[in-house]
Amino acid sequence: MTDPTVTPDEATPPVRELAEIPAVEVITRAAVMLMSAAAEKIGLSAEDPEDSPHRDLDEARRLITALAGLVTASAEYLGPHAGPVRDGLKSLQLAFREASAAPEEPGHGPGEKYTGPVW
């Protein structure tokens, strides 16, 4: 039940100004968005990734490469978030390799020019 004394504006949390958000949070949010989009494009949200209507490995390659560039460029600023973000990137790179009909050699997959070979 809703409280009749609370107006909708009071119930909505205040929107934070972008200038107030720490850089590490902005970078981490961008990384999570890239990871989520890449996972969708690989088809990982579907029961059978090959049948996913969202599967598009060309798009996934672009997203993973962008993520790898962001992670590589910002790793020193991510502190304790760096490890989980790197792990997520590596998982996507491996999932991409598994989803590819003709997987590239290690070192030539999406983002590997930034991260090095993924095994």
**Verdict on whether the full-model pTM lies above 0.75:** yes
Residues 56-85, mean pLDDT to the nearest whole number: 96
Amino acid at 58: D
Which of these, 75, 74, 80, 68, lies nearest to 107 by C-alpha position? 68
Which of these, 11, 33, 24, lies nearest to 41 by C-alpha position? 33
Q: Which two tokens stand for residue 25?
A: 């949070």
Q: Which two tokens stand for residue 66?
A: 């962008």
- Going from the C-alpha of 13 to that of each of 5, 16, 50, the distances in angstroms are 16, 9, 40
28-50 pLDDT per residue, tens? 999 999 999 999 999 999 899 88
Lowest-pLDDT range of 7-16, 20-29, 72-81: 7-16
